[in-house]
Amino acid sequence: MSFRLRVLWLVVLVAVSATAATAWLTLRQASQQINDSATTDRAQLDEVVGRLTTYGSRHGTWEGVPDLVRDLRAQTGQRIHLVADTGQVIVDTDTQEDRTARPLGTMVGVVDPRPVLNLAALPAEPASRQKGVASAIAGYRTGVRFAACLTRESVPVVASPSSTGVPQFDADLGAADVRDRPGVAEIVDACADVAAEPGRHLADAASVQVCGTSTVEALDSCLAQAFTTDISDVAPVPARVYLGARGDPGSVLTAGPLLAAAAGVAAVAVIGTVLLSRRVLRPIDTLTAAAQRLGRGDLTGRVPVWGNDELAELARSFNRMADSLQRGEERQRRLVADVAHELRTPLANLRGYLEALSDGVITPDQALFASLHEEAMLQQRIVDDLQDLALAEAGKLAYHRVTVDLAELLETCRTAHHALAESTGASLRVAAEPVAVHADPDRLRQVVGNLVTNALRVTAAGGSVRLVASRTDTQAIMRVVDTGSGIAADALPHVFDRFWRADSARGRRTGGSGLGLAIARQIATDHQGTITVASEVGVGTTFTITLPRAD
């Protein structure tokens, strides 16, 4: 499967998973909202039922309840339909608002303002118990008729609870809306006359006498039923209240919008994947073509870089790799050319002398053989240095590491080059403090020997070459400091290049193989160290080797 298809399927999988998760979360959230809405509706229904029950219990009539229902409608925002058990509509907010009545809602509550007689508050003796029920019936009938009359006359009513559960009604003459109202006392007296039922308690006493006295439970059940029956013609009728309407917007979850949203998300994901794959694969195609050209040997090809993302960094890395390969190829070609150049002239000289000897043109003598031997040794040195450098760069140069005291190593190097220093007229001194490194002593002497030889070669008689060793907390430092002719600033970057000479006119007989510094740098690198150079023309040159300390 191609990379494009893999990316496409991966993103499609992610998109479908995300869509499914979104749909599930949406369903869960919507269900929670529906549950919360149902809970709110239930709480609103309980509030409405409680307020209506309190109104009926206090006022003894449903007259005047439309004002309360209007307030409840404003509070809940729901349609309220109050209907008596007899089927008579008491109040409907749709009718109040002069709108066509809608189908009733599904939230239904029962409103029963009739009191429940607390028989436990009555005497236990049956006759006294019956008498107490009769008295409660008479008292409630009178009180509720009185409260209904006050309500019709717009006089506030106060209903006080009693131990029997039957409220006691009175006019609230301290209310602000009747305090200064004329004729309120006369209205209260008139309502009291209307509510009076002389001799009613006798009839009630007769109605409760039918209850037997076989058991306490049977007596209490009969008395409670008699109480309810005898107050039904004066108490507010029980009613049912319907909250809301079927035409109202509800918290109903439909699958259509969710499916449409899921399809939209999936479509966006697929389109985005296609665009993303094109954005990703275009530079990859360019990189692939450039890599193929590179594999065919074309090291000049580069890829364009756009932006700063991962693909741009990949393109930059490819270009850096191509640059490195091209530089390596160029270095290899230069090396071959330099080696051919270095060997061509000496070998031509050797061939010329040998042919001259063969033809008898020159006479063989000891000096000639010594010269030819020296020329052959120089070529051998070049070959040996090339081999060392190749092994070092390939990481195959053998090292035998031990703990080395740099002060002792520099003293050994000074002794080895003392004769050469005397022949040039320069002084060779050591100024070193003991410092240990873990290194190959022979390779380090090779590095220092190359530097000392070069320093003595460029230092005039009377000059000096100093070998210095010092240390820091973590590093050991060796310096080879001369007072020679120095190196020009523009030549310093090439000091460690193969076959480089500061003086292009200097020959191999006086200038060395031109590989010593390149080998020295590689050996220092293999010891996890560095070698640097600082120089000033006419003042001198300092080579600094830095290595990790062993102590």
Grade residue 429 by pLDDT with cuts at 50, 70 and 90.
very high
Least confident among 41-45, 214-218, 429-433? 214-218
Global pTM? 0.45
What integer pLDDT is reported at residue 509 of this predicted model?
Answer: 45
Q: Which two tokens stand for residue 213?
A: 């006295």
Q: Which range (23-37, 141-155, 310-324, 389-403) has the least confidence? A: 23-37
* Domain ranges for the chain: 119-235, 397-548
Check pLDDT > 60 for residue 211: yes
Q: Is residue 2 scored above 60 in pLDDT?
A: no
pLDDT at 297: 81
- Structure-model confidence comparison of residues 239 and 331, the more confident one: 239
Averaged confidence pLDDT in the chain: 82
Averaged over 64-78, what is the pLDDT? 89
Under the banding of pLDDT at 50, 70 and 90, the label for residue 504 is very low
pLDDT at 506 (0 to 100): 44
Cα–Cα distance, 159 to 170 (Å, whole number)? 7
Please check the confidence at residue 505 and state whether its pLDDT lies above 50.
Answer: no
pLDDT bin (cut points 50, 70, 90) of residue 543 is very high
Listed range (94-108, 195-209, 219-233, 360-374) with the worst mean pLDDT = 195-209
Per-residue pLDDT at 180: 78
Distance CA(31)–CA(27), nearest Å, equals 6
In this model, does residue 508 exceed pLDDT 60? no
pLDDT of residue 39: 82
Give residue-wise pLDDT tens across range 171-186.
888 887 777 788 888 8
Instruction: List, as one string, the DSSP characters of 481-535.
Output: EE-SS---GGGGGGTTSTT--SSTT--HHHH--S-HHHHHHHHHHHTT-EEEEEE
139 in Cβ contact with 115 (< 8 Å): no
> What percent of the chain stands above pLDDT 90?
23
How far apart (Å, rounded) are the C-alpha atoms in residues 142 and 521? Answer: 122
What CATH code would you report for 397-548? 3.30.565.10
Helix, strand, or coil here: 450? Answer: helix
User: Alpha-carbon distance 520 to 522, whole Å?
Assistant: 5
Segment among 299-308, 437-446, 507-516 with least mean pLDDT: 507-516
Task: Name the nearest CA neighbour of 531 among 519, 518, 545.
Answer: 545
**Confidence band, pLDDT 50/70/90 cuts, at residue 204:** low
3-state secondary structure 147-201: HHHHHHCCCCEEEECCCCCCCEEEECCCCCCCCCCCCHHHHHHHHHHHHCCCCHH
Identify the pLDDT of residue 135: 86
Euclidean distance between CA atoms 488 and 496, whole angstroms: 14
Confidence label for 541 from pLDDT (cuts 50, 70 and 90): very high
pLDDT band at 51 (very low <50, low <70, confident <90, very high): very high
Give rounded-to-5 percent helix, strand, coil for the chain: 55, 15, 30
pLDDT in tens, 93-142: 888 888 888 888 888 999 999 898 888 888 888 888 888 888 888 888 88
pLDDT, tens digit, 9 for 90 and up, residues 483-503: 999 999 888 888 887 666 555
Res 511: pLDDT:
47
254 DSSP 8-state letter:
-
Query: What's the pLDDT at 279?
Result: 66
What pLDDT does 203 receive? 52
Q: How many CB atoms lie within 10 A of CB 39?
A: 10
C-alpha distances out from residue 414 to 104, 296, 453, 456, 461, Å: 115, 53, 11, 12, 17
